[in-house]
Structure formats: structure tokens, C-alpha cells
């Protein structure tokens, strides 16, 4: 069963945890805050990795085409529509 994950929120949490870790590592370092931030980053990364590994769509900031336009997530696969063969085959 695929658990719903908001990849945008999860990426934001990961980035925030990394910022918190870096801020806590400035002189003087705060080991407790660093550990809390590291745990938050690991939890977010595990959630995002699990989501992506099960076929979930990537976070919006990661869906940028080369021309700078954002890609939209692919809609769920559906059965192809029946087409009529111009040669009378169906």
C-alpha cells in the first residue's frame, strides 16, 4: 500500500532541517540541536525516498524542464482509448 506523502512539504522539511543543522553547527556548536536537525533531515529523506521509490511524483522544485517551465505530474495510467482503423480493422 502506498502511503500518501506531500513531496513538496517533505522537501521543504528536509531543507529546513539542513538549515537548522548548519545553524546549530556554528561556533559554538550545539550538539543537541544538531542531533535533532539531523534526525529531522533523515526522517524527511526516508519519507521522500520511499515515496519516490514507490512511483510517487517528485517535488515541484525538482520538476523543471530545460526550458525553465515546470513539468506537471503524470496523470494515472488509464486504458488507451479505442481507435478506428482507417483500413476497417477496428
Nearest CA-CA partner of 29 in 21, 19, 18: 21
Query: Which CB contacts under 8 angstroms, 24+ apart, belong to 39-44?
Result: 40/13, 40/16, 41/14, 41/17, 44/10, 44/11, 44/13, 44/14, 44/17
Instruction: Compare 18 and 66 and report the one with higher pLDDT.
Output: 18
What does the pLDDT look like over 5-61, one tens digit per residue?
Answer: 899 999 999 999 999 999 999 989 999 999 999 999 999 999 999 999 999 999 999
Predicted confidence band at 82 (pLDDT cuts at 50, 70, 90)? very low
Whole-number pLDDT of residue 70: 64
Give the pTM: 0.69
- Other CB atoms within 10 A of residue 43 CB: 14
Amino acid at each position: 500500500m502506498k502511503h500518501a506523502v506531500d513531496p513538496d512539504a517533505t522537501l521543504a522539511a528536509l531543507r529546513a532541517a539542513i538549515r537548522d543543522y548548519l545553524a546549530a553547527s556554528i561556533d559554538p556548536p550545539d550538539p543537541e540541536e544538531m542531533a535533532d536537525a539531523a534526525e529531522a533531515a533523515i526522517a524527511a529523506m526516508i519519507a521522500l525516498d520511499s515515496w519516490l521509490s514507490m512511483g510517487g511524483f517528485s517535488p515541484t522544485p525538482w520538476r523543471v524542464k530545460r526550458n525553465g517551465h515546470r513539468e506537471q505530474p503524470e496523470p494515472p495510467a488509464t486504458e488507451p482509448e479505442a481507435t478506428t482503423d482507417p483500413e476497417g480493422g477496428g
